[in-house]
Amino acid sequence: MNKSIVRNGLILALFAMLCTGLVAFVDKFTADKIQAQKQAQRLKILTDIIPNDIHDNNLVQSCRLIYAPNELNTDTPVAAFIATKEQHATAIAMETYAPDGYNGKIKLILSVTKAGEILGVRTLEHNETPGLGDKIELSKSDWVHEFNGKTLSKPSARKWKVKKDGGDFDQFTGATITPRAYVKAVHKALTYINSHFADIQRQTRSCEEQNG
């Protein structure tokens, strides 16, 4: 019986080692592919929110890390992509967070011209309720287009809210918390970009450092 127990133990140990090795192999084999897919998706979003006619640089390669926990609602650095034309900055696309979504944190990105006008906003990650809060996804609704062309003065500060709170932005039927959090996060990020446009350009820490 002792021999049987030892044999079964060895078989189990060998099986566990094989499984661990297989998982490690698959992870290593797919890591580069997953990273390439992320980069392709990131480039597509950047192309959507920063028109080609206002930049001539590689947006992904112009990525800088920005640390502003209070304004961007995260304790970790976020990515900022600097669009330039003839070596002059024309716009910045920057990630930020809405920490108070209905089902938790919402990650988004917005692009802003040097003059302070929003070019576009896209949702990157969220856990909002399907059929209600997920209208922040462009594939589900064009609601994010409401931010296009907005500035800190258009609408006025008191109008940077959903209509239920006396603002200019639509809420969703049966779901006000999600758009309320989203509008607040966009306004905070827009304020930060407007106030620190030049500082963001001067930032030297690249996104590759974070990935590394």
Q: Is the pLDDT of residue 7 over 90?
A: no
Q: State the burial class of residue 54 (Cβ atoms within 10 Å of its Cβ: 0-12, 13-18, 19+).
A: middle
Say whether pLDDT at 210 is over 70: no
pTM of this prediction?
0.83
Structure confidence at residue 73 (pLDDT):
96
Q: Please name which of 90, 98, 109, 97 lies closest in space to residue 42, comparing C-alpha atoms.
A: 109
**Confidence label for 112 from pLDDT (cuts 50, 70 and 90):** very high
Cα–Cα distance list, 112 to 25, 43, 150, 178 (Å):
42, 17, 9, 22
SS3 110: strand
- Residue spans per domain, the chain: 50-211
pLDDT for 1 beyond 60: no
Query: CA-CA distance, 55 to 207, in Å (whole number)?
Result: 20
Identify the three-state secondary structure at position 83.
Answer: strand
